[in-house]
Structure 1
Amino acid sequence: MDANTFIEAKELYYPFDIVPEYWDWLVYQGSLQNLKVPVEIYTEINGANQDKKYHDELAKWARTVDVKSNLVLDEELDYGLVNTVITQGYVASPTEADLLKMGRDPFLIAYALTDPQNITVVTTEASKPTKKGANRHVPDVCKHFGVQCCNTFSLVRSLGFSTNWKKSV
């Protein structure tokens, strides 16, 4: 899951005070190994980057033991795959500005490349095939590498989220 899936869910459609069940459900799905967040993405939502806007309810939630132990992917990253994603999916010779623009998206896609038939990248970005270089969107880079990609709403439908999900467990 990309950081934007958490940030937009908190701000737009699953605020903690209105749909707390969603956040419990994410942790539960993580415990079942259905959802995972690479550590590089996790640090974007847990406030570790010291950005004031992330020292909020999302950051507090992300720092809980349940979230860390159930949602954070415990897997070594193949940095060669990250390099491949950057140089073949975005731009062959990236500048510092390019790397900043790409953010941590190449890490997310690199993890998915370890098992592209069974790992799906979840993002709120929409495909924009006309974007080039460091401006490419996650769905387009995923498509380039044969990695499955979906949005938050596809995720919740495929895994059956509802506000009374605990009754079915």
Structure 2
Amino acid sequence: MFLLDADTLIQAKNTYDAFDFAPGFWDWLDRDHAAGLLASVEAVGQELKRGHDELADWAFARPSFFVQPGTAVPGSIAQLAAWVHGQAQYTAAARQEFLAGAGDLFLIAQAHGGSHTVVTSEQSRPESKKRVMIPDACQAVGVPCVDLFGALRATGGLMLVLSPAS
């Protein structure tokens, strides 16, 4: 299963897959979620719902898209915490932000505990001092990580088709 981070959905809504421009993208999310291929985590859903916009409405209408933490999540969080505390390059603030229970931590922990793949637009930056990047945390605990286009290709999801001229 692919688990999407908040920024992947936010960027889609704000840019190339806006609701009015690419409704097929949102249909793909619904279809592949129903097929058990896509989801996100409850913490991401909570973050999106604070937006008071079309994406928040979408998230409120799809509670099952945002899965509850699985039983393996606490152990996975412990592994992530041990890893991040062992990384001397991160500032204390960067460690605290990552471990504060934000969507990123729960997303990676759910993926780790359930053998899932994380979908994010973030890029690896192992030299970063001020922020723990999702791909770096995923790599540290052996979680596969792809961008949205990787997930689209892997699921056979979506194809851009020109609509007939009106």
Report the TM-score when normalising by structure 2.
Answer: 0.80
Indicate the residue corresponding to 1:9 in structure 2: 12
Where structure 1 has 5 or more consecutive residues not aligned to the other structure, the ranges are: 48-53, 165-169
Distance 1:98 1:137 in 2: 11
Distance 2:159 2:96 in 1: 38
1:60 Cα deviation after fit: 0.7
The equivalences for 1:18-167 within 5 A come to 18-47=21-50, 54-64=51-61, 67-69=62-64, 71-77=65-71, 78-88=73-83, 90-92=84-86, 98-100=95-97, 103-116=102-115, 119-132=116-129, 135-160=131-156, 161-163=158-160
Same amino acid, percent of matched pairs: 32
In structure 2, relative to structure 1, the CA distance for the partners of 1:97 and 1:129 (3 Å cut) is closer
Distance 1:106 1:42 in 2: 14
Indicate the residue corresponding to 2:164 in structure 1: none
Q: Does the aligned pair in 2 maintain the 1:5–1:123 contact within 8 Å?
A: yes
State the aligned residue count.
151
Q: Does the aligned pair in 1 maintain the 2:8–2:148 contact within 8 Å?
A: yes
Q: Does the aligned pair in 1 maintain the 2:94–2:132 contact within 8 Å?
A: no
Letter in 1 for 2:67: L
Aligned CA RMSD, in angstroms, stands at 2.3
* More strand as a share of residues: 2
In structure 2, relative to structure 1, the CA distance for the partners of 1:123 and 1:145 (3 Å cut) is same
Distance 2:119 2:151 in 1: 7
In structure 2, relative to structure 1, the CA distance for the partners of 1:120 and 1:29 (3 Å cut) is same
Please list the CA deviations of residues 61-102 of structure 1 after superposition, one character each: whole Å capped at 9, or x if unmatched. Answer: 1111xx223x222453532321321231x2259957633356
Please list the CA deviations of residues 15-58 of structure 1 after superposition, one character each: whole Å capped at 9, or x if unmatched. Answer: 001001111110111111101111111111122xxxxxx11110
In structure 2, relative to structure 1, the CA distance for the partners of 1:61 and 1:109 (3 Å cut) is same
Runs of 4+ in 1 over 4 A off after TM superposition: 92-97
Report the TM-score when normalising by structure 1.
Answer: 0.79
In structure 2, relative to structure 1, the CA distance for the partners of 1:101 and 1:140 (3 Å cut) is closer
Secondary structure of 2:31's partner? helix
1:5 Cα deviation after fit: 0.6
